[in-house]
Amino acid sequence: MADHPDRSRVKAFRGIRGRVAKRLAVAWVLLSLLAGGVMAYLEFRRTDEIAFGLAASVVDSLRQHVAQSGAPHVASLNAALEPLVRQGYVQARVVDGAGSVIATAATADQPEFFLEHLPEWRSAPAMFITGNHRVLWRGGELVVLVKIPLLDQSGRLVGNFNGAYRVDPATREHVRRDFVYNISAALLAVLATTFVLYPVIMSLNKGVLQLSAELMRSNVELMEVLGSAIAKRDSDTDLHNYRVCLYSIRFAEALGLDDNTIRFVIAGAFLHDVGKIGISDSILLKPGKLTEEEFSVMKTHVQLGVDIVAKSSWLSGAREVIEYHHERFDGSGYQHGLQGASIPLAARLFAIVDVFDALTSRRPYKEAFSLESAVRILAEGRGSHFDPDLLDVFGQIVPELHGELAGLGEAALRSRLHQQVGRYFFGGRAY
């Protein structure tokens, strides 16, 4: 069954609200991680620049002596490394082009701890790497490993400077505090933006839903207008269209079809004979039996109807009924000669409804049959014209349904139809 009035719209709005909230939450997490990564990079980059700056200040001196041999040059290299140790390096050394250590300096402040862990730190994954620098946080210590190539005037590699810079506790605490502060500010800013955007997005979505409802209303009205145009050409009244739509809705509900399929059935019921707009009055309004040639022309209304709805993606939902409702269960119908379950369910359903209403309605060339006579005639087509299983279900609901609709005039039928159609297209509101 369709939802209670307004429930579908409320459900749709709640669904959108939930999806928006989830997506904003995901966006907040992703932006927070991105902000955190950027802040971490900037803070660690600052310590990296300190370490690199200290090393760069002695590179020229190292380059002058590394290519030279002899004790004076080794002493000069050691003398150049000593200031680095006093300014935060736990180890600094110079190696020649072959990788042999030719000068080294190390801190006397807990040298065992740092020197024991340097090989481990050098091989461990870095928090980030920039050039030849590696920033590592191990055992509560922030260490920057620096490697600077030493080139002679011709650009030839003559050695390397390798150093491990230990960020002092005060600087480390300052970096940590700045990092926490900056990341918290970023998280709060993103969160505040999310809270500001949420009502804006929901307001925009509400507007979209309203526009969508108006568009749906226009489409349904267009569907009814097209069906009405044909009905008035055929019989000067919309009664047939109204009744077959109401019969089809109740029949589809009795079969337990889902709401989306019922919407297609409704569209097909409205537009089942839309192709008759292309049939001349001399054939369409002829009071007597059509000749074989005239009937061949009349049958073309099926393809004409298919061509008309094919031009609209929204009206194309009616195509199954338009194209196949003249097929017969035994394959003797037109225009494709389909049989059995190969005929779409909506078309098999509507074929029963269409014939029943034609039998129980007065036409220029005949009087209306009684309910009993119409049901008997339908039974004669069981398994040949009509799907026997569907016919059984229709037989269970038609006495009550015919009793409800048979005596209603055009205005009453229209009102009832608008209520029923509203359940499936407008969340319970009549249109």
pLDDT tens sequence across 237-287 = 578 888 999 999 999 999 999 998 999 999 999 889 889 888 888 888 887
Yes or no: say if 92 and 84 are a contact pair by the CB < 8 Å rule. yes
3-state SS assignment for residue 87 = coil
Residues 257, 175 within the same domain = no
Residues 177, 246 within the same domain = no
Yes or no: say if 384 and 352 are a contact pair by the CB < 8 Å rule. no
Residues 247, 130 within the same domain = no
Question: What is the domain extent for residue 266?
Answer: 237-425
pLDDT at 67: 67
3-state SS assignment for residue 106 = strand
Q: Which is higher by pLDDT, 236 or 303?
A: 303
- Say if pTM beats, i.e. exceeds, 0.85: no
Residues 246, 390 within the same domain = yes
Per residue in 355-397, pLDDT (tens digit) is 999 899 877 667 889 999 999 999 999 999 999 999 999 999 9
pLDDT at 25: 74
Q: Which is higher by pLDDT, 179 or 288?
A: 288
Annotate 310-333 with DSSP letters as a single string. Answer: TT-TTGGGGHHHHHHTT--TTS-S
Average the pLDDT over 174-192 and give the result. 74
Average the pLDDT over 222-243 and give the result. 75
Which of the listed ranges 6-20, 200-214, 329-343 does the model predict with the highest average pLDDT?
329-343
pLDDT band per the 50, 70, 90 thresholds, residue 40: low
Query: For residue 399, what are the contacts with CB-CB under 8 A and spacing of at least 6?
Result: 371
Residues 268, 387 within the same domain = yes
pLDDT at 124: 46
> Above 80 in pLDDT, residue 431?
no
> Helices marked H in 149-300 — which ranges?
169-235, 239-254, 259-271, 281-284, 292-299
pLDDT at 1: 36
Yes or no: say if 339 and 348 are a contact pair by the CB < 8 Å rule. no
Q: Which amino acid is at 119?
A: P
Residues 243, 370 within the same domain = yes
Domain boundary among 188, 211, 246: 188
Residues 138, 77 within the same domain = yes
Q: Is residue 320 part of a domain?
A: yes
> Above 90 in pLDDT, residue 146?
no
Domain boundary among 171, 188, 205: 188
Query: For residue 130, what are the contacts with CB-CB under 8 A and spacing of at least 6?
Result: 45, 48
> Above 90 in pLDDT, residue 86?
no
Of 390, 148, 142, 159, the C-alpha closest to 255 is: 390
Q: Which is higher by pLDDT, 423 or 349?
A: 349
Residues 285, 415 within the same domain = yes
Yes or no: say if 396 and 254 are a contact pair by the CB < 8 Å rule. yes
Q: Is residue 224 part of a domain?
A: no
Average the pLDDT over 171-184 and give the result. 73
Residues 256, 377 within the same domain = yes
Give percent of the chain with pLDDT exceeding 90: 27
Q: Is residue 203 part of a domain?
A: no
A 10 A CB-CB count for 268 gives 31
Residues 183, 305 within the same domain = no
Q: Which is higher by pLDDT, 428 or 415?
A: 415
**Which CATH number belongs to the domain containing residue 256 in this structure?**
1.10.3210.10
Give percent of the chain with pLDDT exceeding 70: 76
Looking at the structure of the chain, the number of domains it has is: 2
Query: For residue 59, what are the contacts with CB-CB under 8 A and spacing of at least 6?
Result: 148, 150, 161
pLDDT at 209: 57
pLDDT at 142: 75
Query: For residue 25, what are the contacts with CB-CB under 8 A and spacing of at least 6?
Result: 194
Residues 355, 273 within the same domain = yes
Q: Token pair of 17, please?
A: 């609200």
Q: Token pair of 41, please?
A: 């990079």
Residues 12, 107 within the same domain = yes
Per residue in 294-328, pLDDT (tens digit) is 999 999 999 999 998 888 887 788 899 999 999 99
Q: Is residue 385 part of a domain?
A: yes
User: What is the separation of C-alpha 153 from the centre of its chain, rounded to a whole number of angstroms?
Assistant: 61
Query: For residue 385, what are the contacts with CB-CB under 8 A and spacing of at least 6?
Result: 328, 329, 330, 333, 351, 355
CA distances from 313 to 208, 210, 219, 392 (A): 20, 21, 11, 34
Q: Is residue 168 part of a domain?
A: yes
pLDDT at 345: 96
Residue linked to tokens 């002695």: 58
Q: Is residue 205 part of a domain?
A: no
Q: Is residue 217 part of a domain?
A: no
pLDDT at 6: 44
Q: Give yes or no for a cis peptide into 335 (omega within 30° of 0).
A: yes
Q: Is residue 93 part of a domain?
A: yes
pLDDT band per the 50, 70, 90 thresholds, residue 7: very low
Per residue in 94-140, pLDDT (tens digit) is 888 787 888 888 876 654 555 555 555 455 444 434 445 676 666 66
**Which CATH number belongs to the domain containing residue 90 in this structure?**
3.30.450.20
